[in-house]
Structure 1
Amino acid sequence: MTTWLITGCSTGLGRALAQAVLAQGDNAVVTARDVSKLQDLTTEFPTTALALALDVTEQTQVDTAVQQAEDRFGAVDVLVNNAGYGYRAAIEEGDDGDVRALFDTNVFGPVAMIKAVLPGMRSRRSGAIVNISSIGARICPPGSGYYSASKAALEGLSGSLQKELKPLGISVTVVEPGAFRTDFAGRSLTQSAQAIEDYAETAGKRRKENDTMHGTQPGDPGKAAEVIIAAVEAAETPAFLLLGADAAYAYGAVEEAQRAEVDHWREQSVSTGYTE
């Protein structure tokens, strides 16, 4: 029986994944800052679900959650770093304190979780780490620069981590979802207090008061959860996984545009070496 530790399970993809994991008979350590939102899971799955209060920016809570998970189920086999939130602002509009808080949750929180579970995974020479990123890391929409940067940082870290851990029998997967019908564009989306008029036609169009996407996103979190489980359980776990037709299309479009620009500048790019 596999034991999953999933952060950010109160709603959305985290909750859908927790429900799918428990429904297939695995153990799940389900976490949220407000543990009361998880009680229905422990009621339905009293022997296989462990609900814990967890703020990933608090090191003591991180260490305690991993210890409690290991005490209850013996080991953490799969860590899913799902907890996170969005932040909308033009780069000039971003508040320094807000941006640091964003990175504390979206980057340094996952790092703390990874460091906490790795000693056990290394000792067993097995395990899986799933880091939930966003297609935003690739398409970098106006108004989402700081959020995109936080997810790009998580992806860069994951790429190196994957190479470090693969020889030890531990997989690392970056998941880039597109738009899924979760609370991301609602409760989980914040924005700068300041709005500069010069950005009204770029970043301004994506401020919460102008965004009509919430509740109409094309992605189904339940289906996404099933794909994540399949990826973790695959004989060759992918290092990179897109979720959603919109993400797949956007990835291809960005890749094509970047390739065209690289090819256009290739001669100049390779001309920069010393000549004898």
Structure 2
Amino acid sequence: MVSIEKISFRRVWFITGASRGLGALIADAALADGNAVVAAGRNVAAITERLGESPALLPVALDVTDEAQGKAAAKAAVEKFGRIDVLINNAGFGLLGAIEESSDADVRQMYDTNVFGLLNVTRAVLPVMRSQRAGHIINMSSIGGYRAGAGFGAYSSTKFAVEGLTEALRAELKPLGIYATVVEPGYFRTDFLDASSLKVAREVIADYDETSGNVRRIAASLNHSQPGNPEKLAKAMIELVDASTPPLRLPLGTDTLKAIAEKNAYVTQETETWRALSASTDFAAS
């Protein structure tokens, strides 16, 4: 048996949703880069099957919606490796359907994972990073976290929440030597559009056929032919963590870059159009 104390790791990464998809690929890249990885997921056996066994790997059971499990996983990470340098809040899933088609139960379940689950894990890890006065929290958002669209409104709202939380974390943690970054992937060739990662609203309302209905059809045709290369995304995460001054936002994919440029141009144009009314609501200058 190899003694952990005799092994020097570049950093210790804590990754949620690490049993498959982007989480597993990021874990692979981090391990290959000489880091230790705490790979968290609901099914520990699936993590071990996907990532193998290594002195640098600690699989931990974690349902991010369970606050106690988050604290236990963080404690296990520190007991094993002594610190946590990078947190990747990757666990999450999507919901495809018009806002009216999206059921209360489905939306609440998605918020429990994508938002409240992220908060559970972040709160569990931050005491460790604060004691170190060092660390990097990376929250996985989406192209839909910057620009919402028909069919993904409820999902985008969870990622808008992640964006806002990350902005605030960036300001709160900067004096403590801890960075926060929100990553905005576009459409990458993963299982995100499969049933394992994307719920489709059961109700279908004919009035939305040209908007959300069309998005349902496009999503089905796009599955597993997305433009983004997930292995390149995983490697980009290594470069992000190595950066001396990481960004607040990191868009990944030319589709995300295009979406951001188009939204920024739209916001600028609309703001100028309505500037007079917007400015008219202040108290008159004395």
Above 0.5 in TM-score? yes
Q: CA deviation at 1:208?
A: 6.6
- Matched with 1:78 is 86
> How many residue pairs were aligned?
275
Report whether the alignment pairs 1:103 with 2:111: yes
- Matched with 1:243 is 252
- Matched with 1:140 is 148
- Matched with 1:224 is 233
Q: Secondary structure at the match of 2:100?
A: helix
Map 1:104-123 → 2, pairs under 5 A: 104-123=112-131
Paired with 1:219 and 1:12, the residues of 2 have a C-alpha distance of 13
TM-score (norm: length of structure 2): 0.93
Q: Secondary structure at the match of 2:139?
A: strand
Paired with 2:240 and 2:51, the residues of 1 have a C-alpha distance of 25
Which of 10, 19, 32 is residue 28 of structure 2 equivalent to? 19
C-alpha RMSD over aligned residues: 1.4
Q: What amino acid is the match of 2:164?
A: G
Higher deviation after alignment, 34-43 or 67-76: 34-43
Map 1:205-220 → 2, pairs under 5 A: 205-207=214-216, 211-220=220-229
| Contact 1:12–1:181 (8 Å) recurs in 2 | no
- Matched with 1:152 is 160
Which of 15, 40, 43 is residue 6 of structure 1 equivalent to? 15
| Contact 2:193–2:219 (8 Å) recurs in 1 | no
Paired with 1:9 and 1:217, the residues of 2 have a C-alpha distance of 21
| Contact 1:178–1:246 (8 Å) recurs in 2 | yes
Report whether the alignment pairs 1:234 with 2:243: yes
Report whether the alignment pairs 1:54 with 2:62: yes
Paired with 1:46 and 1:10, the residues of 2 have a C-alpha distance of 15
Instruction: Flag structure 2 segments of 5+ consecutive residues without an equivalent.
Output: 1-8
Q: CA deviation at 1:274?
A: 2.1
- Matched with 1:204 is 213
TM-score (norm: length of structure 1): 0.96
Paired with 1:131 and 1:76, the residues of 2 have a C-alpha distance of 15
Paired with 2:217 and 2:110, the residues of 1 have a C-alpha distance of 17
Paired with 1:181 and 1:210, the residues of 2 have a C-alpha distance of 12
| Contact 2:41–2:62 (8 Å) recurs in 1 | yes
Q: CA deviation at 1:103?
A: 0.4
Q: 1:198 to 1:42 in 2, by over 3 A?
A: closer
Q: CA deviation at 1:191?
A: 1.8
Q: 1:82 to 1:120 in 2, by over 3 A?
A: same
Deviations 1:9-62 (CA, angstroms, capped at 9, x unpaired): 12221111100000111000112212222214553x511011122110111221
Paired with 2:171 and 2:164, the residues of 1 have a C-alpha distance of 11
Q: What amino acid is the match of 2:104?
A: D
Paired with 1:210 and 1:136, the residues of 2 have a C-alpha distance of 14
Report whether the alignment pairs 1:175 with 2:205: no
Instruction: Flag structure 1 segments of 5+ consecutive residues without an equivalent.
Output: none
